[in-house]
Amino acid sequence: MTLRLDHYINGKYERPAAEEYFESYNPATLELLYEAARGDKDDVEKAVDAASMAFKSASWKNLSATQRGHLLRRLGDLVVQHADELAMLESQDNGKLLREMKGQLQTLPEYLYYYAGLADKVQGAVVPSSNIAIVNFTEREPLGVVGAITPWNSPLTLTVSKLAPALAAGNTLVIKPSEYTSRTVLRLAELATEAGFPQGVINVVTGYGAEAGAALVESRELAKISFTGSTQTGSRIASQTAARFVGSTLELGGKSPNIVFEDANIHNASMGVVAGIFAAAGQTCIAGSRVFAHRSVYEELVDKVSERAQTIKIGNPLEETTELGPLAFQDQLEKVESYVNIGREEGATVVTGGTRPDTELPGYFFSPTVLTDVNNDMKVVREEIFGPVAAIMPFDTEEEVLALANDTEYGLAAGVWTQNLARAHRMAKKLEAGTIWVNTYRAMSPMSPRQGFKSSGVGIEHGIESMYEYTRLKSIWINT
Ligand code: NAD
């Protein structure tokens, strides 16, 4: 019998009001994994009410910041204990390599421990006053009910990046995971109850974006939306929330440049380019999908990246030796395939890949693909493909590559490969992106704040800065 997953509201599983469910499949094997509750407005209102009651309840409001930290720490410990189970569930849900998920599960508790430690360190300030009779100080308060909407490519990590600072600051949560990956976020909510979080502090409503997601954004009780997903959905949410003066943090799409200068260690750079675009089958917001190589090393880089792409082992994400799993669902596969075809029509050369490979499993696999004869005017270079497709272009000067790299609506991340320190600093200053990596790519930590520039986002995630996103500032004046 198929596993049925309900919403998680008020510390327990709740059947959907309309009794409707939708199916979720393993993208590698195409097996039916489970049915999840198809949330609607009624379900969302129930979850928001629960979160609102919990926010006002003594069992949450009267906890000290240190006690909230203890709860987060206990949740971190439970994630450590259940790491193998969570890694397996998420790998089955979105096709990510089990090996990579195990690595993610090692860093996931660090997010919980980091914000556990910060919970009692968010403080106001005493403000200098020109009148000695007046004491003016500031306090940081939680906002209330936070709505967290997350995508399918990294459900646990992206949820915990919101949950940990929001709870550390004293808010309560309603989470709407992607309709493609409901499983691990529900399991995380169960573990939070086991850790001792009072009922209603963490609620999960599953379902489609246009239904459960839209209902959450429209909910009257909401103090803030923290969204990670496409720029298109983010833009829609931003206009809906702005009209009601509801705050939002938006982590959106990207089309990040990865720039290789002639003085770089070309072997390391080519491996950085490969990891930047082919990790998680290119389904990462920070994917280094636009590769710029100095003309003097261009051929060598194209050869090295293409040779490595051809040896990448595609297959079952659960096997230790597999290097590339499937795309997460059929539309995603078709989208990637159609972009490669558009590239061909625009004049691109497919150096390697560009097809569905022969695999033992029937899932949504696509070969690592390298495109050349491309330029900044082409769709494949301008639009986010969100798949294993690298476009490699030559350049001649630093000024030229800066202009090309910045000529995009996105500004999430950028990579630079050079051994010239002065150049590294110049590039880091002038690239219009929230994260710059020099001689590395994809490095990330809960301690390091990150922000998308331009159409890649609004607001900050990670670091102490992210805690402030979940507080409001009160200025208090007392005439003594
Ligand atoms: P998406 O925008 O389609 O969906 C994201 C979430 O929003 C899902 O839970 C979905 O159900 C929900 N949603 C969809 N329509 C909605 C609506 N009208 N109202 C409310 N919620 C709605 O994105 P996706 O395809 O799930 O994720 C891929 C995108 O996420 C890519 O663009 C990627 O770059 C981006 N992303 C960004 C970051 C980052 O840190 N900047 C991280 C991961 C993914």
Give the per-residue pLDDT at 1: 87
Q: How far is CA 123 from CA 56, 67, 126, 469, 474, in A?
A: 21, 16, 10, 14, 11
Ligand 1 centroid vs 258 CA: distance in angstroms? Answer: 23
Unique residue bearing structure tokens 């209330």: 144
Residue 380: per-residue pLDDT: 98
Amino acid 92: pLDDT: 98
Q: Is this model's pTM higher than 0.90 or not?
A: yes
Residues lower than pLDDT 50 in the chain: none
Return the biggest CA–CA distance within the chain: 79
For residue 117, what pLDDT is reported? 98
Between the CA of residue 113 and those of 68, 105, 165, 418, what are the distances in Å?
A: 11, 13, 11, 35
Residue-level pLDDT at 236:
97
Question: 64 — phi, psi (to 5°)?
Answer: -75, 165
Q: At what angle do helices 398-406 and 421-430 cross, to 10 degrees?
A: 30
What are the distances in angstroms from CA 15 to CA 23, 43, 205, 212, 301?
15, 9, 10, 14, 54
Pocket, ligand 1, Cβ cutoff 6 A: 149-153, 158, 176, 178-179, 208-210, 213-214, 217, 228-230, 233, 236-237, 251-254, 285, 384, 386, 412, 452, 457
CB 53 within 8 A of CB 36: no
Output the pLDDT for position 455: 98
**Would you state the pLDDT for residue 404?**
98
Catalytic residue among 251, 323, 461, 469: 251
Q: How far is the CA of 171 from the centre of ligand 1 (A)?
A: 23
Whether 255 contacts 354, CB under 8 Å: no
3-state secondary structure of 152: coil
| Catalytic annotation present for 85 | no
Please give the torsion angle defined by the CA atoms of residues 156, 158, 163 and 168, in that order, rounded to the nearest 10 degrees.
Answer: 110
Task: Give distance in angstroms: CA of 474 to centre of ligand 1.
Answer: 32
The ligand 1 atom nearest the CA atom of 208: 11
Q: Which pLDDT score is estimated for 348?
A: 98
Cα 266 to the chain's mean position, in Å? Answer: 29
Strands 389-395 and 247-251: unpaired
The protein residue whose alpha carbon is closest to atom 35 in ligand 1 is: 229
Interval between CA 190 and ligand 1 midpoint (Å): 24
Amino acid identity, position 229: G
Most informative mutation of 226, 233, 383, 389 for ligand 1 (most atoms within 8 A of CB): 233
| Displacement of CA 129 from its chain's centroid (Å) | 43
CA 451 – ligand 1 centroid, Å:
16
411-441 as b/e, with b when 16 or more CB fall inside 10 Å?
bbbbbbbbeeeeebeebeeebebbbebbeeb
Nearest to 365 by CA among 398, 396, 322, 301: 322
Nearest CA to ligand 1 atom 19: 214
Residue 459 structure tokens: 């607001």
For residue 207, the ligand 1 atom closest to its alpha carbon is: 11
pLDDT reported for residue 297: 98
The per-residue pLDDT for 97 is 98
